Chain A
Amino acid sequence: MSELTLAEASEQVIAKLSQARKEPDWLRTFRTKSLKLFRELPAELSNLYTKYADLTGVDFESTSLELPEPPRADIDSVVSKFKTDRAITIYQIDSKTLPPEIPEALLKEGVVFTDIGTAISRDPEYFKRYFLEKAILPEDDKFAALNNALFMSGFFLHIPKGMEITTPFRMVTVLSSEGNSLFTQNLIMAEPRSKFTVLEELYSTKLTQQSKRSTYSALSEVYLHEGAEVTYASINNLASNVNIFSNKKSIGKRDSKIVWSSALLGGAYTRSRLESVMKEEGASSENVEVVFGAGTQRFDTASNITHIGQNTSGHAVSKGVVKEKARAVFKGMIRIEKEAKNSRAYLAEHGMILGKDARADAIPGLEIETNDVKATHSASVAQINDEDVFYLMSRGLAEDDAKKLIIVGFFEPVVERIPVPEVAKRIRRIIDLKWSGVYDFESYLKARPLEDEYYEEEAHKPRDLFEGHYKYR
């Protein structure tokens, strides 16, 4: 297969991709339009952030557009490492998607959990309409446009009216090849009063060619109908040679609730955009996001809250630790529109800088167009508290262990929200190892779970981060 790079993405490439996937014409037109927008749009649409749009190191010339077929990794061995019966899992290993095993009972009720290509071919008329008015349009963002042009995988999840499902729906993505790109688009439809959890995990297998950059792009959209409640947890631990572009957005109707939690740990350059739109009365959203940067990693995250309906509430917390030469920019915007009376919003960005060459920028913005609201935001940058270290050391911990424990605790608000206990454990272990300077995949899998030392197995309720906050009283 000829090595076609991302920089060479063209109408012909899209035609080929679309043909191979036997897609309808309208989708091909949509992809072509998106590609055009990708070329035209600036890296940041809002001039508030132009200064921070830094794409050096994002090298499309040397990233291949195609994935090896079949995947380089041994599928069975990869799957066995991530297998759990506590979730319904779709595996996506390079270009290969393994369909999930969905219990009969759920299928009978009308639950759909499948890869996006299959979903589109099953009901093209529905998707034709959907692509015209989807939450993340190619016009919205340069890299959302790129994804809309080139997406080749992802899942479609549809939960019917009134269904409450405790078992999480899970997608595990493993990249085993270097120098390639993967474009994923996920779509979640929550019918009225449905209640369920989604877990997304991203890993790379052991690095062989450090110098080659890969591109991973994901676009996730969640539609919540009246009274629906969705929890969406994601863990990103791709290898240090992957450039990551992520766009997530939810649209919440009346009395719906979305809870996002994301751990951004891997990648060379990560660009994350997340927006919760509270479109109708009573909708609410929570977003908790943690970043752990080390080495030369760079993170550019935005967490936006948009209030359109009355009596809506939105919360977001971004926390980050940067060490060595890592850099992070935390952006966020609370937007309260004219009709959104009696809304409440809270946005916080907290950074911990642990290296002489590390850097963190925070830009928590507010745009408020009506008065009957309460909106607060805060940002802080600090170090590990010496007193905390002293306390733990006085209890017999070595200095490094004490600091490690504090760092693991710093991330706990997100980790404890991960719905599958063994995944939560793995994340703690990843943070623990990352603190010690170990970044490779095999070590994570082999390592003894940290819980044996610090945590009890029993599941506990995640702490309340927002309602009990002093600014809310």
Chain B
Amino acid sequence: MNAMQSSPRRRWTNLAAALTAVAAAALVAGVGVGAKTHATVTVKVLAQSNGQGNPQLQAVFDKFQATHPNIKIEATYLPIGETYANTLRTQLRGGNAPDVFYVTPGSGGLQSLLPFAKAGYVADLSRRPWAKKIPLATSARPLYWWKNKLWGVPIDVVPVGVMYHPNTLSSLGLKVPSTMSQLLSACRTAKSKGKYFLNVAGASAQNAGLLATVVAGSYVLAKDPKWNQKRIANKVTFAGTPAWRTTLQRIVDMKNAGCFPPGAESNDNVPATPGFVSEQVVGWTLPSSITGLIKSFNKNAQYNFFAMPGDRAANTRVFSSPTDAFAVYSKTKVRAAAMKLVDYWATPAAQGAYGKATGAASIYQAGTGKHLAYELRGLAPILRQKSKVHTLMQVEWSNPAVFDTLGKDVQGLLTGQKTVAATLTDLDAAWGRG
């Protein structure tokens, strides 16, 4: 018998060895599969920076990572505005977009959500468990939903008002104005005492435009809460709306009453900041989400907010809208992890922590007027009155040029280059370019 011939015993031994090898290989593969399941997945995020990075957003990402050890967040922060929007747009077009990215709702900005959704760049979120439960205001719904699909997760609600120094206000013997005439009178008083009542970064179309829309809230929307929808349907125009004429006239009135510090028309946001944080200027129209940053410049200063009044106290309106959001890239390769991240952002815990850090409010708390940042205490009463709270007007506008034109022409009202009538005509012309 050949030594190499297989005896039955030997064959069994070989089979056993083979089975053992297969089992071992399977085991190894099994371990491999297991390891893959627990391997770290990296989710790339692109978000807006506020100064140096965005520590408030990063803190929430850190908390998410602590509870999801197999997901690593690789966040890049870029200054909001053209830099951010163009980087994102280039990446989207190039097919190498971040898995999750910051957007603003609606369609009025360069990084607005709905044009991205229409171009097929963002993933549908309407099947997420929170999609139908998240308390999105009815007026804000069209900014996130398109074709019955939800395209982004709101991460906060940002009230907008006049941020002011309560101690400086008292030291001037003034109270929070509840009508426009009181505000104009306060401007004259402050100026007579060597201070200025209102700041504006006239060279920043964003800030000058924000001042105009905040005033418009208490004039245009107080008169016709559905004005935006009518403008979208081309049933009204800026030039044909008397309340818009009054809005812009009130800005001219503010200038004539000496509300703004000298040189305000030439200041961008950065040069406009020292005057405000050093309390030389009492108030500044700002989104509350910037509170954390403003506080960091002068930690001793106290802040509060008031709503920009209309001609009558009853007309006063405030903007409070979910203007910050995240969207998921439609072609992401880490869809499950990206979805987990947006799911996390939809929780009250994440939104509460973020709102507390920035000065914005959680979408779950904004309408209650409770648990707001301390600096928002002045806005709490009006935030509880749903009929007086609106979504920021410009996010619904047809294209970014409309708001830019508004900001630019407000600067023109301050320099005397523009009249109210010319501004209204420019706005309608810019709308038509959308």
Mutual binders A and B: no
Residues in chain B within 8 A of chain A (CB atoms)? none
